[in-house]
Amino acid sequence: MDVKAPGASGTEFWMKQMNLQIHLSMLCHPRKVALVIVLAIGSSSYAQTASERPQIPASQSQASQSADRDPALNSQQEEELRKGTALTRRGSFADAIPHLLAARGQVSNEYALNFNLALCYVGTRQFKSAIELLNGLRSSGRDGGDVENLLAQAYIGNAQPQEALASLQKAVALSPQNEKLYAFFSDACMDRKDYRLGLKVLDIGLRDLSQSARLHYERAMFLTQLDEPDQAKQDFELARKLAPGNEIGFLAAAHEELFAGDIPGAIRSAREGVKKGYANHGLLTVLGEALIRSGVSPGQPEFVEAQTVLEKTVAEQPNDATSQIALGSLYLAAGRLEDAIAHLEKARSLDRDVPSVYANLSKAYQRHGDVQQAQDALAILQKLNLDQAERISSAPGDRKLGYAGRGVAEEEGTPHP
């Protein structure tokens, strides 16, 4: 039963993560939850397969359904539970929370309700609340792999890496060959920008799962963020060889070419993947970004194509900052200033540390006549660039950011996602 990715992102990053969970039983994003969970919601970015959606474990699904059928349940609470569960499955986490809270203490299967509520808290970045709920499930004796998996992601979001690793180890002990555990954990690290921790966990996973195309793809995404293009290329190529002709293979090819500056190649690979039926968030985002970077102009068929695919990705995953930036930059190039500002401000609310948000916002506000807001955006951009230069000089090779959609174009007239 469906409610989506890690593979970077989200996933954004969390929608990206939930999407990754969905059909796996991600990424689809170029930059940002493993196990099948109570809720049926990566590429990726941060690095997960966006066409995937989480599924409800059979036993939990059956228990939840039996709770709904219990004639002793208060009909109002039963309706709240149904509404909350349906919204959770659609990935509408913020909307689901009030309904699930209203049903607490009134249903026979509190475990399923509380797990879904914890998932919603993770999806809305209320990590402390999720941790409290999940630890409650632990103490009640429901310390299963799904709980530990989600708890690990919540700990990552709450900047508690040691606790996250401990939960991951427990989940892996219960299911040592489950690649999703590593993929979803790494997606949480990508969302948190903890690239070194994500890479460390993937290296551990690849010791036992050396033929996992997904893990090699995820690893390549982290290496691009850490400015290790040669190593990233090796993992991209491995992912392509291990998954020829499927979603991960196309994602690996398109991202490898995009990061290498082979824009025509990225467009070709993304289009081919979409044509083969993988029209998911990740590939569409790469296609839109590559088309923009090819220098398309309003009025050209390729510009219309880029706008179409980016509008689709934003509609599917509105909490993905990367897609919002790309679409905002496209609207800016088309002179749709109010639309551009709306999407760029949405991107800023999702991720305040992306220089290209402020580069585009400065231009958009300037052209819109909002001089002060343009100057404010430019000041933030300058500070981010200085901070990044300082990080690079003080920790070369560890925290350097590669391309990965974070570069700022120099040309005044060129939109950049």
Same domain, 103 and 233: yes
DSSP 108: S
**What does the alpha-carbon distance between residue 379 and residue 34 come to, in Å, rounded to a whole number?**
40
Does the residue 186 lie in any domain?
Answer: yes
Distance CA 278, CA 263 (A): 20
Domain range for 380 is: 320-394
- Could you tell me if 335 and 251 lie in one domain? no
- The pLDDT tens digits of the residues spanning 123-166 come to 899 999 999 999 999 988 877 888 999 999 999 999 999 999 99
The CA distances from residue 259 to 36, 232, 329, 362, 385, in Å, are 32, 10, 19, 25, 20
Q: At 54, which CATH number?
A: 1.25.40.10
Q: How many CA atoms lie within 13 A of 315 on its CB side?
A: 8
Quick check: is 297 in a domain? no
In a domain, 125, yes or no: yes
What pLDDT score was predicted for residue 413? Answer: 43
**Domain check: are 221 and 353 in the same one?**
no
Last residue of a domain, one of 249, 278, 307: 278
| 42 contacts 6 by C-beta, under 8 angstroms | yes
Out of 278, 306, 330, a domain closes at 278
**Residue 103: which of 128, 74, 123 has the closest Cα?**
74
Q: Which pLDDT score, from 0 to 100, does residue 3 have?
A: 30
**pTM of the full structure:** 0.75
CB atoms within 10 A of CB 208: 12
Do 195 and 331 sit in the same domain of this protein? no
d(CA 24, CA 220): 20
Q: What is the pLDDT of residue 58?
A: 33
Helix or strand or coil: residue 229?
Answer: helix
State residue 202's pLDDT score: 96
- Is the domain of 344 the same as that of 259? no
Q: Give the pLDDT score at 316.
A: 87
Question: For 353-369, how does the pLDDT look when each residue is reduced to its tens digit (9 = 90+)?
Answer: 899 999 999 999 999 99
Residue 22's pLDDT is: 29
Give helix 213-225 / helix 179-192 axis angle, nearest 10°: 20
- Cβ–Cβ < 8 Å for 31, 189: no
Instruction: Enumerate residue ranges in the chain where pLDDT < 70.
Output: 1-74, 392-417
Written in H, E and C, the secondary structure of 35-67 is CCCCCCCCCCCCCCCCCCCCECCHHHHHHHHHH
pLDDT of residue 107: 75
Cα dihedral value 148, 153, 154, 158, nearest 10: 130
- CA-CA distance, 273 to 144, in Å (whole number)? 36
Distance (Å, rounded) from C-alpha 273 to C-alpha 367?
Answer: 37
For residue 287, being part of any structural domain is answered with no
Asked if 122 and 202 sit in the same domain, the reply is yes
**Are 259 and 330 in a shared domain?**
no
Are both 256 and 370 inside the same structural domain?
Answer: no
Domain annotation covers residue 2: no
Number of residues in the chain: 417
Looking at the fold, whether 177 and 112 belong to one and the same domain comes out as yes
As for how many domains the chain has, the answer is 2
Are residues 90 and 188 both part of a single domain?
yes
C-beta neighbour count of 382 within 10 angstroms = 13
Q: How far apart are CA 260 and CA 280, in angstroms?
A: 22
293: in domain: no
